[in-house]
Structure 1
Amino acid sequence: MNTDKQAERPRLVLVLGGARSGKSTFAERLALQSGRQVAFIATATASDDDMRDRIARHQAARAATWQTIEEPLQLAAAVEQAARVADVLILDCMTVWLSNWLFSQEQAGQVEEDTISAQYYDGALRELDALLDVVSALEPGKTLIVVTNEVGLGIVPAYALGRVYRDVLGLVNQRIAAAASRVYLMVAGLGVDIKRLHENAEL
């Protein structure tokens, strides 16, 4: 085993894009190409028939040897668990996790942006910081691939909770991107490493 190559592997990879942009497929391809053991952390819950169908399709597309951990809320603990059984971890996805987390909070259905949204910003970012602390403590050679949506390019949501959700997810994505070694933006199934482009940008 080449330990030098192993040490060079990115510890955190972010894959983001719009709906049906190929995020999950791309993340799974990265994991397969690594040739290492993979664990899949699924944040979705079967809340309705459409979600059950989506979950079933995703499960059918995964390699049979992958271990799946279903965890809608406790991401830090899920990553620690996954790292005990695999080298490449896929977390799919932050978008669903944030929805789960917001609706688990008291008064989530009565959000007033000017009085309560800061509570959600702070709480969600604390959860994210706990996740990033776990990632930074992973053994050399372990990699976490995080899938998330870019929701800031569409129309402004018409209701308060939707606006809070969009804003908090934007902050979450920014914080993960800052910590990640690779940040792939998905466009029509194609991944572009925008972190490298950003680092090489000049005026």
Structure 2
Amino acid sequence: MSNKLTLVIGGAASGKSAFAENIVINTGKTRIYLATARVLDGEMEQKVTRHKNMRGAGWATFETPLAPEDVLRERTASETILLDCATMWLMNHLMDETDLESAETALMNGLKGSKADCVIVTNELGLGIVPADALSRRFRQKQGELNQRLAAQANTVVHVVAGLPNILKGTL
């Protein structure tokens, strides 16, 4: 992998997206935003609008709820990609009941094959209580497994808590 992969992990509303955006901005390269969320209700629409406003202008945005690897392969070394977020990507696949193993392999291959540096935002779900239902427990398990795969492939892993970064692997 000739590009740099940075994983930014944290809990809900931890400041991870803002931190990841600053990493991308500080590269000075063309900024690419891969949006994985599906807007299915008013609350999600408000969240997407809030994130767009926080980012501001200067981002090329691609909506990639299931196959960000298609865009990853097309990018160049003069760009930096922000994929926000792996958690929504995973949820989309679980809800659509797709072949998750194939989807994860395609994502990992897309990250390896991209010429652009990549920053991925993901949620840490394993620090809370055990979910009450089977689907939620499966989601939490699969998220933990995905995070481990992403962290293993990443050059740098940053855990963000209360807006403060803690570097777990590599350097910024």
The two structures share one fold, judged by TM-score above 0.5: yes
| Greater fraction of residues in helix | 1
Q: 1:192: which partner in 2?
A: 166
Matches within 5 A, 1:174-189: 174-189=148-163
Q: 1:37: which partner in 2?
A: 30
Distance 1:66 1:92 in 2: 13
Task: Read off the aligned partner of 2:136 and give its amino acid letter.
Answer: G
Q: Contact 2:77–2:117 at 8 Å: present in 1 too?
A: no
C-alpha RMSD of matched pairs (Å): 1.8
Distance 1:18 1:154 in 2: 10
* Aligned partner of 2:109 among 133, 149, 156: 133
Counting matched residue pairs gives 170
Q: Contact 2:72–2:110 at 8 Å: present in 1 too?
A: yes
Per-residue CA deviation, residues 110-154 of structure 1 (Å, 9 max, x unaligned), is: xxxxxxxxxxxxx32331221221222223xx2110000000000
Q: CA deviation at 1:84?
A: 4.9
For structure 1, the 5+ residue unaligned runs are 1-6, 107-122, 198-203
Point out the structure with max Rg over C-alpha. 1
**Cα distance change, pair 33–135 in 1 and its aligned pair in 2 (3 A):** same
* Aligned partner of 1:161 among 120, 135, 138: 135
Q: CA deviation at 1:85?
A: 9.3
Q: Contact 2:73–2:113 at 8 Å: present in 1 too?
A: no
Q: Are positions 1:65 and 2:58 aligned together?
A: yes
User: Bigger CA drift: 57-66 or 67-76?
Assistant: 57-66
Q: CA deviation at 1:191?
A: 1.1
Task: Read off the aligned partner of 2:143 and give its amino acid letter.
Answer: L
Task: Read off the aligned partner of 2:84 and give its amino acid letter.
Answer: D
| Greater fraction of residues in strand | 2
State the SS of the aligned residue for 2:169.
Answer: helix
State the SS of the aligned residue for 2:166.
Answer: strand
Task: Read off the aligned partner of 1:128 and give its amino acid letter.
Answer: E
For structure 2, the 5+ residue unaligned runs are none
Task: Read off the aligned partner of 1:138 and give its amino acid letter.
Answer: S
Distance 1:148 1:77 in 2: 19
State the SS of the aligned residue for 1:194.
Answer: strand
Q: Contact 2:125–2:144 at 8 Å: present in 1 too?
A: yes
Large movers: runs of 4+ above 4 Å: none
Q: Contact 1:39–1:85 at 8 Å: present in 2 too?
A: no
> TM-score under structure 2 normalisation?
0.92
* Aligned partner of 1:105 among 97, 100, 106: 97
Distance 1:129 1:178 in 2: 14
